[in-house]
A and B are shown apart, each in its own frame.
Chain A
């Protein structure tokens, strides 16, 4: 009986702590020093975007479209791989090789049903575009096994300063199976050479049975990732359950704890773990309670926004704004809403022109223009 009461009390307390609807820790600025301009109109769910040297853009839509946007015209690229369109699956991120100008390689992640089992898992592909068609397609990595679970595919792609490519795969709905096991895919950030081979100094190359592409593990569902413009480190954000979204700096061989430690609870309000820290597991740089459902992330580094220089931007799918985070010594010291009420923010990136581009579901891609 006491035990029962105890559990009941814990649930009641957790409910009051985590159950709150609004995020009271974020600031709403009194004045706006910018306007927004719709650049690419009428997109369904624009998941990934990247900027080509000629000023045009590549945009993915989750349902499996790769769109080339040039001079105000959208052209659908042909021969895009078929996506496993179930739940959160689809065509996700797109990124250019750092030397795209010379080699033409384009990288993207998508849910793929390639393989023996029913279902799908996340794949990283590279390919080139010739006359509006994808050619030279190479699957560089494919998570296994396939599963019909419809969620937690990840995924973002980022290159670091040494030319390695990083991407994430979410736990694929098997949080007690995948994230803590380095012999299994899912719940990981991976690091590969640009041609898909495994770097010889990856952390688990000498572990028997390990997936040697793994760079860090214990992740839930990473859907935002970016390179820090000064340190060159890879930063990621990931969806927690109810509460417990995280921002992390991705470090070699580290364990980020999911689902052993977590600041959130299950969707049905039951407790997932009562631990928020453990030796050998990384603490997040920042965690969100309640969850904001974080999407893309980017650092402001161009001189277009002098007041925001060095700040981090993260999209919120849930609260429908972009947030600006001031980071001092790897700590979040201030958060502020920008672009509220435009819709579910799916992605944010800095263009080659130094402007901030923001992708909003059901609307399109906006540019943030500072007021003079």
Chain B
């Protein structure tokens, strides 16, 4: 009996936890969409499809999944030089977007959870802060 009660509390606890996580994530994603429309849409396009050989896609980008840290770094500091995304080579320049750490968190959560992308691990402010140049 006691056992079951305790289990119950645990279930409620976890459900609550993932609920908080969820709303936190969905709020961050919603803010991230505004950041995306202001800063990224011109190059990476409304549906994250980019332009082949010029602007890499963010939608279903293997780079974004495989190289989480590099991706956040590129948004924090800009990115230049050769990279390969979905088998296609890019050798362009992404200028420094100049975002606050909070905006980086939001836009990363947005692009990692849009257009068919899905990431269970929310990007946090401490993660962004920990990436130094």
Contacts and interface: CB of A to CB of B under 8 A. Distances in A.
Interface of A: 44-45, 62-63, 84-87, 89-90, 149-151, 173, 267-269, 318, 320, 343-344, 361-362
Interface string B81-117: 0000000000111011111000000000000000000
B122 interface: no
B39 A87 contact: yes
Instruction: Across the A-B interface, give the 9 residue pairs with the lowest CB-CB distance, nearest first.
Output: A86-B98, A362-B93, A85-B98, A361-B93, A267-B41, A268-B46, A150-B39, A87-B39, A150-B38
14 contacts: A62-B95, A63-B95, A86-B98, A86-B99, A87-B38, A149-B38, A150-B38, A173-B38, A267-B41, A267-B46, A268-B37, A269-B46, A344-B92, A362-B92
Contacts of A90: 95
B80 A44 contact: yes
A303 B80 CA distance: 38
Contacts of A173: 38
B54 interface: yes
Chain B: number of interface residues, binned into ranges: 10 to 19
B129 to A, nearest CB: 19
Given A87-B38, A149-B38, A150-B38, A362 B91 contact: yes
Given A150-B97, A320-B54, 15 more contacts: A44-B80, A45-B95, A63-B96, A86-B97, A87-B38, A87-B97, A89-B98, A90-B95, A150-B38, A151-B39, A267-B46, A318-B51, A344-B92, A344-B93, A362-B92
A44 B92 CA distance: 10
The majority secondary structure among interface residues of chain A is: loop
Given A44-B80, A362-B80, A362-B92, A267 B37 contact: yes
A20 to B, nearest CB: 14
Contacts of A44: 80, 93
Nearest to B91: A362
B39 A45 contact: no
B30 interface: no
Nearest to B93: A362
Given A45-B93, A63-B95, A151 B38 contact: yes
B42 interface: yes
A20 B96 CA distance: 29
Contacts of A84: 98
A87 B98 contact: yes
A147 B36 CA distance: 17
A23 B37 CA distance: 24
B99 to A, nearest CB: 8
Contacts of B41: 267
Contacts of A344: 54, 92-93
A156 to B, nearest CB: 18
A51 to B, nearest CB: 24
Contacts of A150: 38-39, 97-98
Contacts of B97: 86-87, 150
A150 B43 CA distance: 14
A369 to B, nearest CB: 25
Nearest to A320: B54
Centre residue among B41, B42, B96, B98 by max chain A CB count within 10 A: B98
Interface in B28-70: 37-39, 41-42, 46, 51, 54
Centre residue among B38, B91, B96 by max chain A CB count within 10 A: B96
Contacts of B51: 318
A15 B9 CA distance: 54
Contacts of B42: 151, 267
Contacts of B46: 267-269
Nearest to A120: B98
B93 to A, nearest CB: 4
Contacts of B54: 320, 344
Contacts of A362: 80, 91-93
Contacts of B96: 63, 85
A151 B95 CA distance: 13
